[in-house]
Amino acid sequence: MQMEHACGDDTAAQRRHGSGMTDIPILLLAAGLSSRMGQQDKLMQIIDGEPLLRRAARTAQRAAPVIVALPSAPHPRHDALESLGVVKVEIPDADEGMNASLRGALSHVSTDAPAAMVLLADLPDITSEDLIAVLASVKAHPDNLIWRGSTANGKPGHPVVFDQSLFQHLRKLTGDAGAQSVVRAHAGNVHLHALPGQNALLDLDTPEDWAAWRAKRGT
CA distance 145 to 137: 11
Chain centre to alpha carbon of residue 30: 10
pLDDT the model gives residue 40: 86
Closest CA to 206 of 196, 195, 214: 214
CA distance 65 to 151: 24
Q: Residue 42's CB: how many other CB atoms inside 10 A?
A: 23
Q: What is the mean pLDDT of the chain?
A: 89
| Residue 2 pLDDT > 80 | no
CA distance 77 to 93: 16
How do residues 71-84 score in pLDDT, each as one tens digit? 999 999 999 999 99
Q: Residue 3's CB: how many other CB atoms inside 10 A?
A: 7
Average pLDDT over residues 133-161: 97
How do residues 98-125 score in pLDDT, each as one tens digit? 999 999 999 999 999 999 999 999 999 9
Phi first, then psi, for residue 47 (nearest 5°) are -130, 125
**Kind of pairing between the strands at 46-47 and 50-51:** antiparallel
CA distance 89 to 108: 8
**Kind of pairing between the strands at 26-29 and 66-70:** parallel
On whether the CB atoms of residues 121 and 29 are closer than 8 A, the answer is yes
DSSP 71: P
pTM of the model: 0.88
CA distance 219 to 216: 8
Q: Residue 46's CB: how many other CB atoms inside 10 A?
A: 11
> Which CATH number among 3.90.550.10, 3.30.470.20, 2.60.40.420, 3.50.50.60 corresponds to the domain 2-217?
3.90.550.10
∠ CA 11-133-68, nearest 5°, is 85
| Residue 63 pLDDT > 60 | yes
CA distance 138 to 159: 12
